[in-house]
Chain A
């Protein structure tokens, strides 16, 4: 097998960057759909939530009054698709008067640790977020 063929089989690091609030535009829902499609390809997937993107994870979303589907429960299902790294930027939360307690509890079962439930949301600083972005093979923005 050539080196190139070997390369093709290595999982690439994909980062989906979310910077928009849900419902006002289609970006948040489209991102979630692409993440779910991408999960089928067994890549190393991470999600970043910064700027207004942090509103996508806020707890208690109720959309009956606007006649749109509330897609927020889907974030809690991401663990079943082995999407377990949801990086949330601390400064973006703070600028909006939010803390991690305002976000949905999102967990995954760690198959390498006796299926223990662990939090998927990891709050990181702006500097750490820049490092995470710089560590990817592919960055997809929404």
Chain B
């Protein structure tokens, strides 16, 4: 039993990412979308928190949202994976529930 968590707000504006990462269970996945993607960038104040979360959970970023904001996979914290919309659907079906952090 595992959960896919989605985060759609920048961690610099809202606490959604911090709160989500503080409620993860082993085996969960996190998919960062929309403005949330800026929080997956290397060398930000949240990079260490993202790295720590990857001990227990997988962290993904939605590629089109990343590209829209002028970033690519090389800009992300090491270990964060990029998925497309099909990958988003695969993640939803691979987990028992989806929890949105707004």
Q: Footprint of B on A, CB under 8 Å?
A: 17, 19, 27, 50-52, 126, 129-131, 133-134, 136-139, 141-142
Query: What mask results when residues 1 to 41 of chain B are scored 1 for a CB within 8 Å of chain A, else 0?
Result: 11100000000000110010011110010000000000000
Count: A-B pairs, CB below 8 Å: 40
Do A17 and B99 contact each other (CB < 8 Å), given the known contacts A51-B15, A133-B3, A134-B3? Answer: yes
Q: Does any Cβ of A come within 8 Å of B98's Cβ?
A: yes
A126 in complex: contacting residue of B3, B22, B28, B100, CB < 8 Å: B22
A130-B23, A131-B25, A141-B101 known, 16 other contacts, Cβ within 8 Å? A17-B99, A19-B15, A19-B16, A19-B101, A126-B22, A126-B23, A130-B22, A130-B25, A133-B99, A134-B1, A134-B2, A139-B97, A139-B98, A139-B100, A141-B99, A142-B102
Contact A141 B102 (CB under 8 A): yes
Contact B97 A19 (CB under 8 A): no
For B2, the chain A residues whose CB sits under 8 A away are 134
